[in-house]
């Protein structure tokens, strides 16, 4: 077990981060603050994506993008800071859908994306162009170019992900999850190439919801096998701190799926995919249980409330990964 001291190790090779929105996007911002341009590739979940107002919405790609550009609204956890809502208000006046709130600045992202996709661009190309427009140096990729959609089996019937998450405020009890289209989907080829490369120093599973943010990525054909075969340690940062998720329904889902809502249970869930696990200081007493799973453990302050705390956690995670690659 290690207790983090933070010595800012910039690895020699590249780093791959797997993430959903909100919590994961914060660590992605931290990693981008430590690593050199183009050294960081972020693979984001796209199984939350859906069509609304005739626009293609990719919430996790957008949360990461706004976080990397320091444009994100940290309080809300999604969307752009200093947002205005005139379009939404006008839509309400027309009697249009308003359960999913699109801000005025955010709308430009979705219109830009929808237009480019309609003219034949790939989602990765659109995302690259959006990132360049926002001055982002890191490489942000959708997990796949294929359409994958999370469906939530609940006590109120089967729901599309955003119906469950936003419209119904995560209130229905979750009985199971499935990812439509996953069997025929393909991990983005640039992610495959990176996972097979000799120049990869670390793979970081960000503190995102394991079931609806990370699982869609891990469920893509070949993903788990490529992660296990990669020549870099796989480190996950716990999304659960003292039995609670910082934001979102992860802990509630764990209880509904008959799992203890603990950081250890998440480590157990990822199983033999991991080489190392980062626990929050409040969960230091779980370190022995995690180590008993055969993992290296790092105890660190994982709550990210400022850019400095995001960068500091990123440094700790990269140092931890460097130590693991030396030992193996």
Structural tokens at position 161: 């992900």
E strand spans, 27-84: 40-44, 50-52, 55-57
Q: Which of 236, 232, 205 is nearest to 323 (CA)?
A: 232
Distance CA 249, CA 261 (A): 11
Q: How far is the CB of 127 from ligand FO1 (least distance, A)?
A: 13
- Residues written for the chain: 328
Interaction between residue 62 and ligand FO1 (CB under 6 A): yes
314 counts as binding ligand FO1 under rule CB under 6 A = no
CA separation for the pair 95, 85 (Å, rounded): 15
> Can you say whether residue 243 is alpha, beta or left, with left for phi > 0 and alpha for psi between -120 and 50 degrees?
left
- Is 57 an interacting residue with respect to ligand FO1 (CB under 6 A)? yes
Find the binder of ligand FO1 among 2, 81, 85, 100 (CB under 6 A): 100
Q: Does 166 bind ligand FO1 (CB under 6 A)?
A: yes
Q: Is 220 in the site for ligand FO1 (CB under 6 A)?
A: no
Comparing CB distances to ligand FO1, the nearer of 100 and 269 is 100
> Taking CB under 6 A as the rule, which mask of x and - marks residues 5-44 in contact with ligand FO1?
---------------xxx----------------------
Q: Which one, of 37, 17, 36, lies nearest residue 27 by Cα?
A: 17
Count of residues of this chain found to bind ligand FO1 when the rule CB under 6 A is applied? 18
Closer residue to ligand FO1, CB minimum distance, 30 or 79: 79
**If binding is defined by CB under 6 A, does position 78 make contact with ligand FO1?**
yes
SS (H, E, C) 230-285: CCCCEEEECCEECCEECCCCHHHHHHHCCCCCCHHHHHHHHHHHCCEEEEEHHHHH
Closest approach, Cβ 77 to ligand FO1, in A, equals: 6
| Calculated CA dihedral for residues 153, 157, 158, 162, nearest 10 degrees | -90
Beta bridge partners of 151: 160, 178
Residues contacting residue 48 through CB under 8 Å, at least 6 positions apart: 20, 21, 58, 59, 60, 150, 161, 162, 165, 212, 213
Least Å from the CB of residue 109 to ligand FO1: 8
**Residue among 21 and 239 whose Cβ is closer to ligand FO1:** 21
Q: What is the closest distance, in whole angstroms, from the C-beta atom of residue 34 to ligand FO1 in the complex?
A: 24
Choose between 163 and 283: whose C-beta lies nearer to ligand FO1. 163
210 lies in the site for ligand FO1, by CB under 6 A: no
- In angstroms, what is the minimal distance from the CB of 165 to ligand FO1? 6
Interacting residue with ligand FO1 among 4, 48, 187, 277 (CB under 6 A):
48
Residues that bind ligand FO1 (CB under 6 A): 20-22, 48, 57, 59-60, 62, 78-79, 100-102, 106, 162, 165-166, 213
């Amino acid at each position: 077990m290690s207790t983090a001291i933070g010595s800012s190790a910039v690895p020699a090779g590249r780093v791959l981060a797997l993430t959903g929105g909100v919590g994961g996007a914060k660590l992605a911002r931290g990693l981008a603050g430590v690593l050199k341009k183009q050294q960081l590739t972020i693979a984001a979940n796209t199984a939350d994506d859906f069509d609304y107002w005739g626009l293609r919405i990719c919430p996790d790609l957008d949360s990461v993008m706004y976080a990397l550009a320091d444009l994100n609204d940290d309080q809300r956890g999604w969307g752009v800071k200093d947002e205005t809502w005139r379009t939404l208000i006008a839509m309400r006046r027309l009697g249009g859908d308003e359960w999913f709130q699109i801000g005025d600045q955010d709308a430009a992202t979705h219109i830009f994306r929808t237009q480019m996709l309609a003219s034949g661009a790939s989602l990765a190309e659109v995302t690259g162009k959006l990132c360049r427009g926002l001055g982002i140096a890191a490489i942000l990729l959708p997990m796949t170019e294929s359409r994958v959609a999370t469906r939530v089996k609940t006590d109120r019937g089967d729901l599309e992900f955003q119906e469950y998450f936003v419209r119904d405020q995560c209130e229905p009890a979750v009985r199971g999850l499935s990812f439509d289209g996953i069997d025929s989907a393909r991990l983005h080829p640039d992610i495959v190439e990176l996972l097979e490369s000799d120049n990869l120093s670390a793979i970081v599973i960000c503190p995102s919801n394991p079931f609806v943010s990370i699982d869609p990525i891990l469920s893509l054909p070949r993903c788990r096998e490529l992660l296990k075969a990669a020549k870099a340690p796989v480190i996950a940062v716990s999304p659960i701190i003292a039995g609670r998720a910082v934001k979102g329904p992860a802990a509630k889902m764990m209880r509904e799926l008959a799992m203890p809502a603990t950081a250890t249970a998440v480590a157990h869930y990822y199983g033999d995919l991991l080489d190392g696990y980062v626990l929050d200081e409040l969960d230091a007493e779980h370190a022995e249980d995690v180590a008993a799973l055969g993992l290296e453990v790092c105890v660190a302050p994982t709550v990210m409330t400022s850019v400095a705390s995001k960068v500091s956690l990123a440094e700790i995670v990269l140092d931890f990964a460097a130590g693991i690659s030396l030992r193996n």
